[in-house]
Amino acid sequence: MSKQTYRVCFCFRRRFRLRASEAPPEIKSLFDRYSENGFMTAAHLQRFLIDVQKEHKATEDDAHAIIDGLKHLNIFHRTDRRGLALDGFFKYLFSDQNQPLSPSLGIHHDMTAPLSHYFIFTGHNSYLTGNQLSSDCSDVPIMHALQRGVRVIELDIWPDPSKDDVHVLHGRTLTSPVELSKCLRCIKEYAFSASEYPVVITLEDHLTPDLQAKVAEMVTQTFGEILFSPGTECLKEFPSPESLKRRIIISTKPPKEYLEAKEVKEKGDEPLKSKASGDEEAWGKEVPGLKCGTLADDKNIVYEKLIEEEDHDEADKLHHNGAPEYRRLIAIHAGKPKGGIDECLKVDPDKVRRLSLSEQELEKISATHGKEIVRFTQRNILRVYPKGTRIDSSNYNPLIGWVHGAQMVAFNMQGYGRSLWVMQGMFKANGGCGYVKKPDFLLKPFPNNEVFDPKAKLTVKTTLKVTVYMGEGWSNDFKPTHFDQFSPPDFYARVGIAGVPADTVMKRTKAIEDNWFPTWNETFELPLTVPELAVLRIEVHEYDMSEKDDFGGQTCLPVPELRSGIRAVSLHDRMGEKYNSVKLLMRFEFL
């Protein structure tokens, strides 16, 4: 037998030599401390829940319920009636009963404040199946977004070729259209499948008055009584999510404002040069968006030209006042007033509205008007959307909007990437209902009518201490050769924070060689100046010396709702779908 043949045979022998995961030393030590004669009774477990898991209201009955909930795992023997043995305790720690976010919390934020007091799970070009230039338009991505709890759906509406019907498509691109009526029916069917709280439809309107009237008829017939119509020209204050449960809300520019908007369109929306900083190191290179085919450089140039042309919408076709029945549908008025950015950010005590800015515009404006943006978003709604050159449907750092109080940070939901993972993580908060109450410092004025300054240097409020013990489940969810043809994988974990710039950081463990059940036992301290806006990022990769490291799972968790203690953290795939088995055992402590 040749040496090469021997090496291959040896590697295959290593590959199939799987063992069960074993409790790390610290878990064994904790078990010894909270058990007696090799068993953890309900009384012992209650003390563990209070001391280590910081569940200060835990009762002995709660501990009994945990023990009873493990009996189906077949880890009990006759002698186990005294309580949990080490393997039972270890199974409990790795079980779905021990999640990092409490399932019992449910929707626990105050939902009776105006809509402007919430971050809202918001989609961009919600009808696109892939890239922004040539993908199909469909109601399927709308369905998927609503099933995930997205609460704002964007539809670009254009006349069809015959000019007597309305299509949804990304205008003046190669995207194939879908009928508006089909999209509306989809929204009605799936609007409240994941959440009872209101769905906002933002319309990018390129229609003539007669087609606006047709849209008004479609919308009214489709949604009927669940359509919210304010009954007045402008709202003085937005209603609350609680008062709008299971309602549909329309937001767009009133027709006459199309003409006015052209007069005040700002010049010079060139891409900003990236600044050299530690952010790329902390954030990591963006995981590519949904692959939709290669787009040649000349198509990129054409697309940028189309984006410029698209700004010159159908204003020349619109009658100054538009269709009155269409105007009455609009509950959240949008548009940019005359007079530049100071006028755009003016707070009117008698009416509220929505302002839309691209990610580039917001970044530019925030350099000089950060506090004014915060003051504006205390009453009004700010929508931020991806820059036009993101033709691959990638996304941007959502914190640029959240730190300024922007409620609708609009994302392309059809792809994947680290920015989208953070967005999904933020909206796991508040029971996943798609509305997250903004922290008080973004809502209430300070003494002397001052507001939060996003650029101010802040002191550390708390430090999140994270211990990554171990992981398991890859041997169940992946083929034996998925990561390496001839040997077990070499996993490492990345842990960090997506937050304000001072808090944003990413750290990593060492790689554990040739092990389907890696045990790292590494601890990291993450100082937080604004923990209210922090999202914990967790990733696992498989180290590859010669090629790109393989993806092994990810999740993002809202820090304000993170439970202290040792927790079982389920990982998800690139698209955000939870794996069946892959989990990490981690400990979270707030110092």
Q: Out of 167, 170, 206, 333, pick the active-site residue.
A: 170
Q: What is the CATH number of the domain that holds 476?
A: 2.60.40.150
pLDDT tens by residue, 509-565:
999 999 999 999 999 999 999 999 999 999 999 998 778 899 999 999 999 999 999
d(CA 557, CA 426): 7
**Same domain, yes or no: 583 and 548:** yes
**Same domain, yes or no: 347 and 323:** yes
**Same domain, yes or no: 343 and 236:** yes
Is 541 catalytic? The answer is: no
Q: Which burial class, exposed, middle or buried, applies to 221 when counting CB atoms under 10 A from its CB (0-12, 13-18, 19+)?
A: exposed
Tokens coding 271: 């891409």
Q: Among residues 449, 471, 489, which one ends one of the domains?
A: 449
Per the confidence metrics, is the pTM higher than 0.85? Answer: yes
Q: Out of 124, 369, 404, 541, pick the active-site residue.
A: 124
Query: What is the pLDDT at residue 285?
Result: 52
Q: Tell whether 171 is covered by a domain.
A: yes
**Same domain, yes or no: 443 and 466:** no
**Same domain, yes or no: 409 and 330:** yes
One-letter identity of residue 525: E
**Same domain, yes or no: 480 and 406:** no
Q: Which of 59-68, 87-96, 199-208, 262-271 has the lowest mean pLDDT?
A: 262-271
**Same domain, yes or no: 236 and 316:** yes
Q: Tell whether 87 is covered by a domain.
A: yes
**Same domain, yes or no: 222 and 334:** yes
**Same domain, yes or no: 443 and 468:** no
> Per the structure, how many domains does the chain have?
3
Element at 586 (helix H, strand E): strand 578-590
Q: Tell whether 558 is covered by a domain.
A: yes
Note down the domain range covering 63.
22-93
Query: What is the pLDDT at residue 305?
Result: 39
Q: Tell whether 425 is covered by a domain.
A: yes
Q: Cβ contacts of residue 94 below 8 Å, gap of 6+?
A: 21, 472, 568, 583, 585
Tokens coding 416: 């994947």
Q: Tell whether 528 is covered by a domain.
A: yes
pLDDT tens by residue, 482-498:
888 888 899 999 999 99
Kindly write down the DSSP assignment for every residue of 518-556, as one continuous string.
-EEEEEEEEEES-GGG-EEEEEEEE--SSSPPEEEEEEE
**Same domain, yes or no: 423 and 319:** yes
Q: Tell whether 575 is covered by a domain.
A: yes
**Same domain, yes or no: 87 and 137:** no
* Average per-residue pLDDT for the chain: 85
**Same domain, yes or no: 484 and 544:** yes
Q: What is the CATH number of the domain that holds 57?
A: 1.10.238
**Total Cβ atoms within 10 A of residue 476:** 11
pLDDT tens by residue, 318-337:
444 568 889 999 999 998 88
d(CA 460, CA 527): 6
Q: Tell whether 109 is covered by a domain.
A: no
Is 170 catalytic? The answer is: yes
Q: Tell whether 55 is covered by a domain.
A: yes
